[in-house]
Amino acid sequence: MRDTFRLGKIRGISLGMHWSLLLFGALAVSNLATGLLPSLAPGFTLFAYGAIAGLAVVGLFGSILLHELGHALVAQRAGVEVDGITLWLLGGVARLKSEARTAGDAFRIAAAGPVVSVGLGVIGGALAVAAWWIEAPLLLVVLLGYLGVVNTGLALFNLIPALPLDGGRILQAYLWKRSGKPLDATISAAKVGHTLGSLAVALGALQVFAGAGNGLWTMLLGWFVLSGAKRERRRAEAEKRRRNPPVLTNFFDQFRGPGGPGSPWGPSTGHPRLGDPIPVRSWEQPRR
């Protein structure tokens, strides 16, 4: 996901936004201003609802940015180079140029985002309760409560153990710690993500057929998890093949003794019926 708009830098980390975030923001403002806010705080004008909805969406985008900054800053501290952060339709992505060196570093990088979101959720909820206690305007109470709830929901969703979500990366770090094999741990976590993503797509399809309004959204989230899990698995499997290339042997090597030429067992045991292998010129050898 490439940046459409550049938002600046924080500690050398490039911040950007994809155009799809504007589409999501417009839909979110419309839904809040015409649905949720009037139901929670009736009696205000459409302009007031629109203004509070705009602030709520800006606060949501800021919360997602802080979530991703949590990943990025912990990654920098662990010696992992961060390419940048991009906000897009389904949230945000912190792009890391290298992998964590240890399972502990991988765990801390993955857990940093949800920890930030939980903290923001607690702060938002506490401010909402304080605003209600001092009898602040109802729309302000609703705004603070909304930010507390969405940050808590953001943390809980990301803790689902499905790669490429944060919970899937926490699972990958746990499996890495147990087995000592980071690539195998990635493949196992990706399989879980593939299964859960497929289930989400199927659930969304059932919701669409049943007439539920959020079916397409569920399918989109499932597709994101499914495609991300496939990508992570392919990358890990390709790296395993690169590190452990297959051993290519000649067809006639099956007739050799256990020690090969010059060994105490002799260069060849032969075949009980075919005898010794017939010497042939390999097609790879240039003719002289």
Token pair, residue 235, equals 């990358």
Least Cα distance to 196 among 227, 236, 234, 238 occurs for 227
Question: Is the peptide bond prior to 164 cis by the omega test (within 30 degrees of 0)?
Answer: yes
Token pair, residue 254, equals 């099956």
Task: Tell me whether residue 195 is exposed, middle or buried, using C-beta atoms within 10 angstroms of its C-beta: 0 to 12, 13 to 18, 19 or more.
Answer: middle
φ, ψ (nearest 5 deg) of residue 100: -65, 145
Q: Which of 68, 99, 239, 284 is catalytic?
A: 68
Give all strands (DSSP E) within 76-194, no chain letters: 82-88, 91-96
Taking the CB of residue 274, how many other CB atoms lie within 10 A of it? 9
68 a catalytic residue: yes
Name the residues annotated as catalytic: 68
